[in-house]
Structure 1
Amino acid sequence: MTGIEALWVPIDRKVNKSQLVNAAVDHNNDNLYIGRAKFMRDLIPGKVSSDLKSIRICYDGKEYSLDNFEVLVNDVNFIWIEASNGDVPKNAVIGGRAEDGETLYVARAKYLFLTIPGKLHPSHKSAYVPFDSKELAVKTYEVLVRLESNGEALKPKPEKLVSPGFEWVRFIKKSGWPENAVVGGSGYDGVQQMDQYIARAKHDTNVIIGYAYKDGIFYGTFNGIEIRTERYELFVKT
């Protein structure tokens, strides 16, 4: 397996959020960035809060919040590649190292309807993400990768990261609304209260969690800007 080094800068430097890797959004729809921090004798990649004040990493079954960390500077050639069971795609971004010297890679994974940044530990055949004070082991995940110069060496596969008992279904208007689409909230359209269904859509190299009204368009936010699109997927119970 071959990884690549990337540019990391200490958080005490002045950084512009637009220069960082926006890996996901949290349950409040705030952006999460990629960072890494030293903990015990490991250097561990994890998720950085939207205000850039803390990083959350996972170690030995638990989640930890730290305020001394580095953030990953974005690269126009970064993309997310699906993998599983410890597999490391070519040109995966090196995020840190375990105490025994093993390389840890920048990864993210789905849990419930959230995308959570974390670490890939190849010898464990798993990625790990911090959530709700715990370290969650996930067998199917995405790895941050730098495309080769021709842009063809690595192509992202369709995303299949999902919790057991659920799946993401592409919304196609002429095919009708998917059965068992999961309601995540409700909103008022000026006339009546309407269900808001959990949805996701791609924006640049990111996947944004948001919502859609039945047979309507997707609404989400990216860097504080509202994103609307008619091309999205719905979170559906199987």
Structure 2
Amino acid sequence: MTYRMVTTRKGDIPLGTVCAGVNVNGEKVYIGRYSELVPRAHWNEKPLFVFGVITPSQGVLTYCDYYASEKELMLSTSEGYDVVLPGDNSTIFHWKSFEGYTEKDKSYFLEDVVLSDKIGRATKTYLPFAARVEASVIKESKVVGYYDKSKFPADFDGPLFGVGQAWYDEDADVQDRQIAVRSIKVHVPHDGKILEVYKFQFLCSTKVPELSYSTYPTINWVTVSDGHLPPNAIAAGVAPNGEVLYIGRGEHEYEIIPGYIVPSEKHLHICYGSDEHIYSGDYEALTIEDKDGFEWGVYFDGEVPVNSLVANDIIVNLYGTKEIYIGRTLTGSDISTAMTWQKVPINLPHGRVANTQLLGKIHPSHECLYVPWDGKEYVYQAYEVLILKRKPRSLQDICRHVIITATIGLYDKIDQLPLPVNLKEFCKVTAPCL
């Protein structure tokens, strides 16, 4: 669901509540929902949900009371009500125009309309929804009820916007929100009268997907052996003798584990189970097409950023998901401070301590970096992690992203922009929500 209801009272308006418009006093009014118990004679005491308008200065929700009178509609107020809020940060609300409906035409309800909860009786189902009415259509409406203006908030005394109660009837079952409309009406309080109108705007909610205007660099794991390295292999470490080390990975105990390739030895070094393991057969070398498409970031105690490169084929077992990342010791650090689980300190040749940089695996659940060296597995709490950088694919994608983001859900707004026709048509066709 792309929206949610939160219960509040006495004019409280949580941050993010959907605004219905501005009343004649210049005050913002908001959309709320009221639940009342319908008498047994109607729907066996099932709750009736209806939308209304919240006026914060008055501290009440005003709504059309469909069961206060058997002859005509009336207005009621409540200090307790629900407010409409986004379901998450990617939800937007917008208004869609609706006009020209006749009961002779079979049409379908809009999929993204903000609906109230479903209630029903023997043959028909009523689903109230929120609507907004422009003042210009008032003259085309008919009167279906009256109210005492002195007892209700001033926003109904000639508003430019009104939130009416609207619903539809349908005989068929609801399937994927594609429901054949049998009857649809909107009721708007205005100047002491409750008016029924047929030209209005639906309140709709849309969950906006992420617009992909940038991309990560292309990576590949290339099978190699005997120390051979493919083009674009990633040099990422330095051995104690000054030799450059490359990123590789191999399989051990049914797991994929990253480590470092020593070209002169023609071997891959990884660590597992407190020990170093050396592979002279087939293993994989990491290649990245864009040499500027990655960077190293300093982190601690198993932490990695969201765009870190996952080095293994993710394993899901009884202990959850095990993701392993590529790490290395800190640049320019004294790596001889590391120890094994048995408290054995690392042993490096004299004079190479500060210049050596070894590669290994970051295991977030273990809160450390593991590095293979001299037959053992060593532990580091501070380390560098391999991070992929996102870059724009093209200037065209950046422009499209900006335009669509600014106009998402507003179907005619793109046409109003001072842009070339071809560009506007391109945005309409490729936008995921238009």
Question: TM-score band, normalised by the shorter chain?
Answer: 0.5 to 0.7
Contact 1:81 1:143 in 2 (8 A): yes
TM-score, normalised on structure 1?
0.56
Match of 2:296 in 1: 80
**CA distance in structure 2 between the aligned counterparts of 1:14 and 1:27, rounded to whole angstroms:** 18
Secondary structure at the counterpart of residue 27 of structure 1: coil
Match of 2:253 in 1: 40
Q: Does 1:62 align with 2:275?
A: yes
Structure 1 residues 16 and 58: alpha-carbon distance in aligned structure 2, compared to 1, 3 A threshold = closer
TM-score, normalised on structure 2?
0.32
Q: CA deviation at 1:52?
A: 6.9
| Counterpart among 376, 380, 388 of residue 146 in structure 1 | 388
Structure 1 residues 5 and 141: alpha-carbon distance in aligned structure 2, compared to 1, 3 A threshold = farther
Going by fraction, where is strand more abundant, 1 or 2?
Answer: 1
**CA distance in structure 1 between the aligned counterparts of 2:287 and 2:308, rounded to whole angstroms:** 15
Structure 1 moving runs of 4+ over 2 Å: 3-6, 12-18, 97-101
Secondary structure at the counterpart of residue 123 of structure 1: helix
Going by fraction, where is helix more abundant, 1 or 2?
Answer: 2
Matches within 5 A, 1:117-132: 117-132=359-374
Deviations 1:119-148 (A, max 9, x none): 000000111001121111111011111112
State the identity %: 30
Structure 1 residues 66 and 12: alpha-carbon distance in aligned structure 2, compared to 1, 3 A threshold = closer
Secondary structure at the counterpart of residue 365 of structure 2: helix
Match of 1:53 in 2: 266
Structure 1 residues 57 and 98: alpha-carbon distance in aligned structure 2, compared to 1, 3 A threshold = farther
Match of 1:9 in 2: 222
Contact 1:37 1:69 in 2 (8 A): yes
**CA distance in structure 2 between the aligned counterparts of 1:149 and 1:49, rounded to whole angstroms:** 31
Paired AA for residue 106 in structure 1: I
Q: Which structure has the larger Rg? A: 2
Q: Does 1:108 align with 2:350?
A: no
Deviates most, 114-123 or 89-98:
89-98
Match of 1:176 in 2: none
Paired AA for residue 286 in structure 2: L
Bigger RCO of structures 1 and 2 (CA < 8 A, at least 6 apart): 1
Paired AA for residue 366 in structure 2: H
Paired AA for residue 89 in structure 1: P
**Aligned-residue CA RMSD (Å):** 2.6
**CA distance in structure 2 between the aligned counterparts of 1:140 and 1:5, rounded to whole angstroms:** 28
Q: Which runs of 5 or more residues in structure 1 are unaligned?
A: 151-238
Matches within 5 A, 1:207-218: none
Q: CA deviation at 1:83?
A: 0.6
Contact 1:4 1:93 in 2 (8 A): no
Q: CA deviation at 1:90?
A: 2.5
Contact 2:227 2:264 in 1 (8 A): no
Contact 2:312 2:323 in 1 (8 A): yes
Paired AA for residue 63 in structure 1: E
Paired AA for residue 58 in structure 1: C
